[in-house]
Structure 1
């Protein structure tokens, strides 16, 4: 029979710590996917709606201004959401807290900070992608 007091040594995490670490890692993995997912949805939705608008509405002679306004509002909302995700990921990365940009250790804190770093970088890429997806609104004046 094993002694329950000896089942965990000083270096192994407790079961409740494992659950908390898993919950934080799970949240971090979701945070990694949200930035690129928002970018992909913005890209597909924007060009899909523009194609339908130009084929159905603009073909009847209506102006493209409502489409441009709606596209600008949605783009700003997506950029705000990605910016918020990037800020949360920056805080998780905690670079300013310990000035440690290497997370080579095989412990919970290093994994947590690495996931924050990855999510932060993906947020930057997604932000730039949404900006470039939104540029046609600035330059395109009519459906042709």
Structure 2
């Protein structure tokens, strides 16, 4: 016999809900990055094609970039706490337990948040460095 107990139905449902939220958290930061990418490049292309005021669009996109960075930062912060490395000091989580899987999903979401944050910064650089449509 093993010393592990069989989970009850309510434990299974709670664990599934936590993992579902973790999977959503993994996709949220790259989704914000993708929406930011499409909005920036699409709106600038339309602005240049239609002859709209590029300075107003630039300011609006820089505000949108700041909001995107804030959203990705929030996701990264939540993922950092889910990873719980500051308390457990377990950077690897090799075990197959539900808690290890939960921490791993937090770790993955945290790393994707960092990549997404860098992506938003690099997509925003042309808004700051390029003068206008030419």
Normalised to the residue count of structure 1, the TM-score between the two structures is 0.88
Pairing partner for 1:17 from 11, 29, 45: 11
Q: CA deviation at 1:10?
A: 5.2
Structure 1 residue 54 corresponds to structure 2 residue 48: yes
- The alignment yields a C-alpha RMSD, in angstroms, of 1.1
CA contact (8 A) 1:83 1:127 kept: yes
Runs of 4+ in 1 over 6 A off after TM superposition: none
| 1:122 paired to 2:84 | no
Count of matched residue positions in the alignment of Structure 1 and Structure 2: 132
Query: Equivalents in 1 of 2:4, 2:92: separation in Å?
Result: 26
How far does the alpha carbon of each residue in 1:76-120 deviate from its partner, in whole angstroms, 9 at most, with x for none? 000000000000000000001110111111111000000000000
1:96 aligns with 86
**Residue number in structure 1 paired with 2:35:** 41
Partner of 1:4: none
Name structure 2 gaps, 5 residues minimum: none
